[in-house]
Each structure stands twice: as C-alpha cells, then as structure tokens.
Amino acid sequence: MQLVDDVVAMKDDITEWRRTLHADPELLFDVHNTAAFVADKLKSFGCDEVVTGIGRTGVVGIIHGRPGSNGPAIGLRADMDALPINEITGAPWASRTPGKMHACGHDGHTAMLLGAARHLTETRNFSGTVAVIFQPAEEGGGGGREMVNDGMMDRFGITKVFGMHNLPGLPVGQFAIRKGPIMAATDIFDITVTGRGGHAAMPHQTIDPIVATSQIVTSLQSISSRNANPLESVVVSVTKFLGGSAYNVIPETVELAGTVRTLSPEMRDMTETRINEIASGIAAAHGCKAEVKYLRNYPVTFNHADETDFAADVAASVAGEQGIEREQPPTMGGEDFSFMLEARPGAFIFMGNGDTASLHHPAYDFNDDAIPVGVSYWVKLAEKALAA
Ligand code: NI
C-alpha cells in the first residue's frame, strides 16, 4: 500500500467525524445537521469557498491549487444521507434515532471526502481547482440530479467528476471498477388493474382482477427471458401485489408495483414498452382495464473510458496493480451519481469494506480501516488530475 503519510496521520480525526455522523443519521434531503457539519469543517480547513443549499441541501467546497496556477476544476463527490432502517450493530457510535441508520456507509464517504479536503487545502499541491461535492438524497430522492439541475457543473466550471462507494465483501485496500455501465438504471412502475367486484361464490357475475393480475405478473417475467437480448441484462421484479379484503369478495381493483433494472437505453426502452403492452393486453383479454404508470428514475451509471483508466491507475498507485480489479462486473443496483456522469465525463469506483454485513443491512457498518485507503485515493486523484 502506498498511502499518503499525512492522511494516515489524520485517520483518528476522520474516524471521529465518521462516528459523529453515524450517530446522527438523516434521510433524503433532510440532511441539515450533516450539511452544517460538513460546511463548518470545510470552513475550518480554509476552503476558498463553501456554498450550501445547492440542490436543496447539498454542499460544495472550492479549493484552489498553488497560488497563481490555473487549470480546470474537477469534482469529487460524496453522499450524505442515511436509510430508514433500525440499526442493530450495538456500536458505541450507533444511531441515536430509532428507525434511521447509516446502512450504506455514506457517513464514511462524507468523512473521507472531508479528510481529503483538509489535506488538499493544507497542501494545495495541484494546479487548478478541486470542488468537493456533498450531495443529499442518494437513496431514492435524486439529490445528484437536483445538484446538476441547480447548475452546479457550470457554476464551478467542473470539467470531470469522480465518485466512490464502499463495497462489503471486497477486502479493505482493494478497488474495483469497469468501463461503461457499472450500475443499472432503476425505474419503477405501478399498475392498477380494474375489473368488476362482487360475490366470490358467483364469479360469473364479476370480472375478477386477481386472476388477470396474476397472469400479468407471470407474463412480465417473459420480458427478460423472451424479449431481451440474452447477452444483455434486464431485471423486472414485481414487489407489491395488493388486492382484496375478505374471503368471500372478489375485489374491484388490484394494484401491482415493482422495479426495472437495465444497463442500456435500448433495453430500458424495450422493457417500458413491453410492460405497457403486457399489462393492457392481458387485462383486456380478461375484460379488465390496466392503468400503467412507468417512472424513469436513476439512469445507468456509465463510466467514461479515459476517466476509468485514469481512476484505475490512481487506485493502483494507492493499492498496487493487484489491488485494482479493472473488469468488475456491473451490479443491477442503482446510483444517482449517474446524473453527474451524464453531465460530465468521469468514473465511479468501488472500494473494499472488508467482510462486513451487506449494504442496507441493519448490522452493516462502514469499516474505519478503509479510511486511509479512500482518502489517499481522493488526494492522489486530485493531484494527478491537476498536475501542473
Ligand atoms: Ni450508497
């Protein structure tokens, strides 16, 4: 490992910040304490500019390099929000708010980027500008989209963006990345099937939406097996099936909901079209009506080729060539850093969290031993990207 010495010396401070953030988890855009903590720290480090309220509750810190130098600005991004989960770690720094916890390690991401900001403001060993980006609402609210729509890229002249996420199961000190799609587009759908309710003993006098909807659920599974190119990935998961209220009543309506995960625009378009066709066609065959609402949520997290090579080389400069997997298979999870990668070229990398509980599990905790690794990656990335 080729860690940055000064970063190793900061590990205890950064760990304390991480645990402070962990104890006070906040959801979606409601990250007021976290954003205030971040802004205070950035000001105390001597950031040249600290701007709050971008994309509602996002924070951006601006750090200029060597005096008199000029060069482009790059963005380094962390996420700040937690999840609506009851923590069971029993750690001394565990959530003090029942029903909320940092189960995705965004506390670690925020603390690591703060550590990098401190080092970069103290040393300024680069030419140009680093924008440290702290976003709200990664877990479903589209905080990254809000910050982009708020004009963040143009306002700070950001030319490239980089993101990082911890990954349980990957050893501490290891990185993983790939060119192209690394995480899926995450769309959602709601289908309401309407028939005619009535007595369950006289089905001929009703139009049973439960039977029709059951066939819709089954047929939706044919999208990935029959419509998708077998060499491409499509997930259609029905996650809600709500209908009925009694043993002897056929209900009037049934509601379905679910999620769609794809890795290419073609598969995304195809899946949306087929869900509409299958739901309305099968409903009609049973004399029912289907109303389909399809919402395009996060796009594919698409790593740009040159920036991916660059990020992988930086990771190798920290962890050695054996510490970087350059052909990581994509996951069908989603990530709203995708909006920033749509706006600017860049790359998203995974960093090992070791043998911990999985992301979004109530026993998950960010691994503090990974802090010097992640912070060294950020520091080296900024200094190499903006080398004079
Ligand atoms: Ni996350």
pLDDT confidence of residue 70: 84
| Ligand 1 center to 142 CA (angstroms) | 12
| Ligand 1 center to 122 CA (angstroms) | 29
| Ligand 1 center to 201 CA (angstroms) | 50
What dihedral do alpha carbons 279, 271, 164, 158 form, nearest 10°?
A: -110
Say whether pLDDT at 344 is over 80: yes
pLDDT digits (tens, 9 = 90+) for 304-337: 999 999 999 999 999 999 999 999 999 999 999 9
| Ligand 1 center to 113 CA (angstroms) | 15
| Ligand 1 center to 286 CA (angstroms) | 42
Q: Give the pLDDT band (50/70/90) at residue 300.
A: very high
Say whether pLDDT at 69 is over 90: no
CATH 3.30.70.360 in the chain, residue ranges:
185-298
| Ligand 1 center to 107 CA (angstroms) | 10
| Ligand 1 center to 334 CA (angstroms) | 9
Say whether pLDDT at 275 is over 80: yes
Report the CATH fold assignment for 5-183+300-385: Aminopeptidase (3.40.630)
| Ligand 1 center to 331 CA (angstroms) | 13
pLDDT digits (tens, 9 = 90+) for 193-237: 999 999 999 999 999 999 999 999 999 999 999 999 999 999 999
pLDDT digits (tens, 9 = 90+) for 228-263: 999 999 999 999 999 999 999 999 999 999 999 999
Q: Give the pLDDT band (50/70/90) at residue 102.
A: very high
Report the CATH fold assignment for 185-298: Alpha-Beta Plaits (3.30.70)
Query: What pTM did the predictor assign?
Result: 0.94
pLDDT confidence of residue 68: 86
| Ligand 1 center to 248 CA (angstroms) | 45
| Ligand 1 center to 43 CA (angstroms) | 26
| Ligand 1 center to 139 CA (angstroms) | 7
Say whether pLDDT at 388 is over 80: no
CATH 3.40.630.10 in the chain, residue ranges:
5-183+300-385
| Ligand 1 center to 82 CA (angstroms) | 8
Say whether pLDDT at 284 is over 80: yes
